[in-house]
Amino acid sequence: GREYCSWCVCGDGSGEPERVGLLAEVVDSVSFEFCTSMVILLNSAFMIYTTNYDIDNLNADPTDFIFWAEFAFTVFYVIELVLKVVVHRFYFFCGTGMWWNWFDVLVVVSGIFSQVLTFATMTGGSSANLTFMRTARILKLAKLSRTVRLMHQFAELRLILNSLLGSLANLGWSIAMLVLIFYLFALVFVQLSASWLASEVIDDADTGRLEALRQRLEPFASVQNAMLTLYMSCTG
C-alpha cells in the first residue's frame, strides 16, 4: 500500500503493473486508438453542422438527428472512459498522461450534463426552455474541448503543442522587443511630426490650418497612435 501511495504522488506511471487479458489488449491496441481518433474527427466535423444550425435557427430546439447524434457521441465517450478505467483502474487518474485523462473525464461529464439539459429543453415548457437553453449554450462551448483531444490522440500534434508551449517564454520576449521597437520609432515620428507642425504653423492664431494639419497627421498624433499605426503597417 505504501509503494502504491508513493507512486501515486510521483505520478510517473512506473508502478503500474502490466495489464493482461483480452480487454487490456483491446483498450491498449492501436486499433482502439485509431477508432477513437476517427470518432473525434467525425464529432469535430459534426460540430460544424450543429454550429451552423444554431446560428441559422436562433432559440430553436435541436432536431432529432442532432440530439441522437450527440447522444451517440456521448455514449461512445462514456464507454471509452469506462473501459480505460476498468483496465488501468486508479492508475488512470494518477499515472502516465494523468492530466489528459482528467481532461477526458471533464469532457465526458460536461457532455452528459449537456445531454440532460438538452433533453430537459426539448421536453419542458417554454419557461423551462428559456432557462435551460441559456445553460446549454454555455455547455456547447465545452464541447469544443473534444477537438482538443486530437492533440492527445496524434503524436505529431502533441509534438507541435509541446513545441508551442516550450517557446512561450521566447515568444513573450519577442513581443517585448517588437513593442520596444514600435515605441522608439513612435517617439521619433511623433517628435518629427511636432517639429513639422511647428514649422508649418507660424502664427498661433491660424487655428484652422493647424487643425487641418493635425487631421492629416492623425496616425501620428500621439505616441500610442503612432505605435498602433506602425503595428498595423507591419501586419498589413
What tens digit of pLDDT does each residue of 81-94 get?
A: 999 888 888 888 88
Task: Tell me which of 5-9, 93-97, 167-171, 223-227 is least confident.
Answer: 5-9
**pTM reported for the whole predicted model:** 0.61
Largest CA distance in the chain: 94
* CA dihedral sign, ordered 126, 128, 129, 130: positive
The mean pLDDT of the chain is 79
Distances (CA, A) of 75 to 42, 98, 112, 143, 178: 14, 22, 9, 14, 49
Which grid cell is 45?
466535423
Cβ neighbours of 197 (radius 10 Å):
16
Which grid cell is 132?
435551460
Cell 483480452 locates to: 22
Instruction: Look at 178 and 55; give whichever has higher pLDDT.
Output: 178
Sort 17 into a burial class: Cβ within 10 Å, 0-12 / 13-18 / 19+.
exposed
Helices (H) and strands (E) in the chain, counts: 12, 0
| CA distance linking residue 69 with residue 67, whole number of Å | 6
45 confidence band (pLDDT: 50, 70, 90): confident
34 confidence band (pLDDT: 50, 70, 90): confident
Res 204 pLDDT > 70: no
Helix residue ranges per DSSP H, 57-167 = 64-88, 91-94, 98-123, 126-143, 145-153, 155-166
Instruction: Return contacts of 56-65, CB within 8 angstroms, 24+ apart.
Output: 59/133, 61/121, 61/122, 61/129, 62/118, 62/122
What tens digit of pLDDT does each residue of 50-103 get?
A: 888 878 887 777 788 988 998 999 899 999 999 988 888 888 888 777 887 888
Res 155 pLDDT > 80: no
pLDDT of residue 216: 79
Which grid cell is 134?
441559456
